[in-house]
């Protein structure tokens, strides 16, 4: 599966088969996350790995009743490390870069899982303090994304996206007269078609 195939194949899946994720698959997913970029290559995040059914079920209990998480054989919790990034970048590292580091690692893991035929769902709605306490996180670490990984047991509808014309705004604006000269697609017109 190419990168673009994985990007377009990925969907949020909220039902998983009772089937394990292999150690090789898990290692490949974690290695992909480890390849993600980070501010200054500081990698200001930690990944907590859960494979115990009971503990995954207990974690799900801190996610506002998102019980489907408990079906997943593997769950990764991506935690931002403000102190690690803050030591190099100060407030920007503490408040922003560490969260960006953790979330892009989550995205890499999600796409890697998809490319292996596995299903995931990014879970951002959870009780942060309860999750941190449950996982015994070091003081200051912030869980920012929970990623259940498993084998899909559903075929969810594909959700639409905004038109690029709505999503992208070229700066400076491309006028009709200028279209074809300085545009983002190399000169043939507006890239966003809007």
Ligand X SMILES: Cc1cc2nc3c(=O)[nH]c(=O)nc-3n(C[C@H](O)[C@H](O)[C@H](O)COP(=O)(O)O)c2cc1C
Q: By the criterion CB under 6 A, which residues form the site for ligand X?
A: 11-12, 14, 66, 121-125, 159
**Residue with smaller CB distance to ligand X, 148 or 190:** 148
**Residue with smaller CB distance to ligand X, 158 or 173:** 158
Contacts of 8 (CB under 8 A, 6+ apart): none
**Residue with smaller CB distance to ligand X, 117 or 180:** 117
Give the angle 183-186-187 at the CA atoms, nearest 5°: 60
CB 179 → ligand X: shortest distance, Å? 31
CB 99 within 8 A of CB 45: no
CB 12 → ligand X: shortest distance, Å? 3
**Residue with smaller CB distance to ligand X, 78 or 89:** 78
- Helices first, then strands: H and E counts in the chain: 8, 4
Q: Which of 77, 76, 72, 78 is nearest to 57 (CA)?
A: 72
**Residue with smaller CB distance to ligand X, 121 or 137:** 121
Q: What span, in angstroms and rounded, lies between the C-alpha atoms of 58 and 70?
A: 8
CB 82 → ligand X: shortest distance, Å? 18
CB 1 → ligand X: shortest distance, Å? 17
CB 2 → ligand X: shortest distance, Å? 18
CB 69 → ligand X: shortest distance, Å? 9
Task: Give the residue nearest to ligand X (CB).
Answer: 124
Q: CA torsion 101→102→103→104, rounded to 10°? A: 50
Q: What span, in angstroms and rounded, lies between the C-alpha atoms of 45 and 37?
A: 12
**Residue with smaller CB distance to ligand X, 14 or 84:** 14
| Displacement of CA 170 from its chain's centroid (Å) | 26
């Amino acid at each position: 599966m190419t990168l673009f195939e994985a990007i377009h194949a990925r969907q949020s899946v909220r039902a998983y088969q009772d089937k394990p994720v292999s150690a090789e698959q898990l290692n490949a997913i974690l290695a992909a996350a480890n390849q993600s970029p980070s501010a200054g290559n500081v990698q200001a995040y930690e990944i907590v790995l859960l494979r115990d059914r009971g503990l995954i079920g207990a974690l799900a209990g801190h996610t506002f009743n998102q019980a489907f998480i408990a079906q997943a054989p593997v769950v990764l919790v991506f935690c931002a490390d403000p102190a690690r990034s803050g030591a190099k970048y100060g407030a920007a590292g503490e408040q922003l870069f560490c969260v960006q580091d953790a979330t892009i690692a989550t995205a890499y893991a999600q796409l890697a899982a998809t490319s292996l035929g596995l299903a995931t769902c990014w879970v951002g709605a959870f009780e942060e303090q309860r999750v941190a306490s449950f996982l015994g996180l070091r003081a200051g670490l912030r869980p920012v994304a929970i990623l259940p990984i498993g084998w899909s047991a559903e075929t969810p509808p594909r959700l639409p996206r905004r038109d690029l014309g709505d999503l992208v705004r070229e700066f400076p604006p491309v006028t009709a007269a200028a279209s074809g000269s300085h545009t983002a697609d190399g000169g043939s017109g507006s890239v966003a078609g809007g």
